[in-house]
Structure 1
């Protein structure tokens, strides 16, 4: 008869723990830091409220346009997903704060020095922050999409529809867009180091410059505008076929995000904390 052998408790406790992967440890640290500050929770609350309010307001516009005395402005029955996508034009600037504050707050308070002492590899620090910001903003995007659809559908009434497949696809697309924009904000903030300056550059890059370039009679300027991240992301969200397929719009936005991270990595390596 065989007997079970049990290890002595002292020997069990003396067994060395399995070492954690360096990037995994950095990700765990960044995850803890992000959720331990009040600004994260206030930003989440502001994003949810902004999304709900903007979706309800856009739904009211659709309903009013369909019921007023001017038949030329009637949009007809609208998919809830279209309302959700349109509301990101405003809500995205609230979500960007998560990417900004993930590093600018550390530059402001000087705690970035502690971060770099614990994780000397600056590339690993930035990669960990990007993973955390991307994951959180993607999850937040799913939540915001659901909140927006729930706010818009009852207001639309007979002028709205919410096909399950199409609505889910639109919500996932919104989450993907917000994740890429959030990491783009992180990369720029790593290079610029200031929240206000980074937000100003993002506002110009996502809205002001594209609007300035979109001249109907100057094709070259319009094509330049189509290559900017905000316009490319909008083509992706709307599922456009022109001037390029939606998948290309996603790739263009991802390229801008990768370039912003590369710029942030270069700036972190070149300058002192």
Structure 2
């Protein structure tokens, strides 16, 4: 069988997932929620930064900060709207029962999940670019003289944000395939991205801090910040990608083991 023949079913699966994702109102409402959250959070953080520099307490002074840093800080809250988009790409099908039709059209569980991952990752990356651009456009004027927006750095930060969101979107998709419940999936994601790492970091014990550094939210934070300690930002990206890949493998195993 030729490569073209083998790839045709996968292209069809990707096209089907693309159509399904954009044919439901949930996708558009989720994207809108992300835009609102980004706009509100970026505005709030920019105002706070400007106020810190102009109040009567010199200890609050932050000096001039980059617009990109405001965009990155805004992702901590905004990401949950994007996570919802990723997990609903599959949990909604379990809830409605349409997953049966999906698996009848594409019997290969792995192919179905990979097609969903390609679509969810692409859409969340594009949404991330839009969110980052909106955040930068809002933060710049509000920072005023206390903000700087070097073109290269700002574009790099926006692309990094989009990459981070694409990977956590795929992570959400994989967990959604394994857990099959939107509520349970978002709970596990919230714990994995925030609650557990914060609990590990709270005692400020070195070994617990190192464990927390391996969690996806912390690794993604190191990547976005361009850190060199405790590891280079590229390692943070690889760790986040490993979590996303592991979630997909877990979701694939669950799909193969259980009936739709």
User: Which band: TM-score by shorter chain?
Assistant: over 0.9
Q: Which runs of 5+ in 1 are unaligned?
A: 1-17
**Aligned counterpart, 1:248:** 235
Match of 2:86 among 99, 103, 117: 99
CA apart distance, 1:217: 4.2
Q: CA RMSD in A?
A: 1.0
Query: Which region of structure 1 is more displaced relative to structure 2, 19-28 or 231-240?
Result: 19-28
Larger Rg over CA atoms: 1
Q: Write the distance in 2 (CA, Å) between the matches of 1:228 and 1:46.
A: 26
CA apart distance, 1:215: 3.8
Q: Where do 1:219-238 residues align within 5 Å? A: 219-238=206-225
- The answer on 1:30 being equivalent to 2:26 is no
CA apart distance, 1:218: 1.3
- The answer on 1:127 being equivalent to 2:118 is no
User: Could you state the TM-score of these two structures normalised by the residue count of structure 2?
Assistant: 0.97
Runs of 4+ in 1 over 6 A off after TM superposition: none
CA apart distance, 1:98: 0.9
Match of 1:161 among 134, 145, 148: 148
User: Could you state the TM-score of these two structures normalised by the residue count of structure 1?
Assistant: 0.92
Q: Where do 1:54-93 residues align within 5 Å? A: 54-93=41-80
- The answer on 1:190 being equivalent to 2:177 is yes
- The answer on 1:46 being equivalent to 2:33 is yes
- Residues 146-176 of structure 1 show CA distances to partners (whole Å, capped at 9, x for unaligned) of 0000010000010001000000000000000
SS in 1 for 2:102: helix
SS in 1 for 2:33: helix
Q: Where do 1:200-211 residues align within 5 Å? A: 200-211=187-198
SS in 2 for 1:76: coil
Q: Write the distance in 1 (CA, Å) between the matches of 2:243 and 2:90.
A: 19
SS in 2 for 1:208: helix
Q: Which runs of 5+ in 2 are unaligned?
A: none
CA apart distance, 1:216: 5.5
